[in-house]
């Protein structure tokens, strides 16, 4: 999962598993994200995401959404300050090989291959 809006030196990236939480953003524009795996379907794995924004403030709102993730890049939320994205896990590099600029599709869970 990636939270990034503008510029090459800002944003944050975290691993993505069955359940997790991350807090990231700029002052006064911090999101606290939580997620949990619900089930698998033929179309992908279903997750529930909760976003608290701006986190740590009295006026923080809460948004909840369920999405089907099939291992392709997906924008979860985007506004003037943040772009929160699910991306496939990059393939590990073999020694002596260059980085392939084309994104690779990977399973959301290594133990469960994509359909």
pTM: 0.69
Range of the domain at 16: 2-86
With respect to residue 82, please indicate whether it lies within any of the assigned structural domains. yes
Residue range 37-65, pLDDT digits in tens:
999 999 999 999 999 988 888 888 999 99
With respect to residue 108, please indicate whether it lies within any of the assigned structural domains. no
With respect to residue 31, please indicate whether it lies within any of the assigned structural domains. yes
55: which residues sit within 8 A by CB, 6+ positions away? Answer: 23, 25, 30, 31, 32
Q: Which of 78, 1, 68 is nearest to 37 (CA)?
A: 68
With respect to residue 109, please indicate whether it lies within any of the assigned structural domains. no
> Residue 106: which pLDDT band, with cuts at 50, 70 and 90?
very low
15 backbone dihedrals φ, ψ, rounded to 5°: -65, 165
How many domains would you assign to the chain?
A: 1
Contact yes or no for 35/13 (Cβ under 8 A): no
Contact yes or no for 75/5 (Cβ under 8 A): no
With respect to residue 39, please indicate whether it lies within any of the assigned structural domains. yes
With respect to residue 101, please indicate whether it lies within any of the assigned structural domains. no
């Amino acid at each position: 999962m990636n939270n990034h809006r503008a510029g090459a030196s800002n944003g944050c990236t975290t691993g993505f598993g069955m359940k997790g939480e991350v807090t990231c953003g700029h002052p006064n524009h911090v999101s606290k994200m939580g997620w949990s795996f619900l089930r698998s379907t033929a179309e992908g794995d279903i997750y529930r995401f909760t976003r608290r924004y701006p986190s740590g403030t009295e006026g923080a709102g809460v948004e909840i959404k369920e999405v089907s993730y099939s291992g392709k890049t997906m924008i979860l939320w985007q506004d003037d300050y943040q772009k929160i994205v699910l991306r496939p896990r990059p393939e590990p590099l073999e020694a002596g090989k260059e980085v392939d600029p084309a994104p690779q599709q990977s399973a959301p869970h290594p133990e469960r291959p994509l359909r």
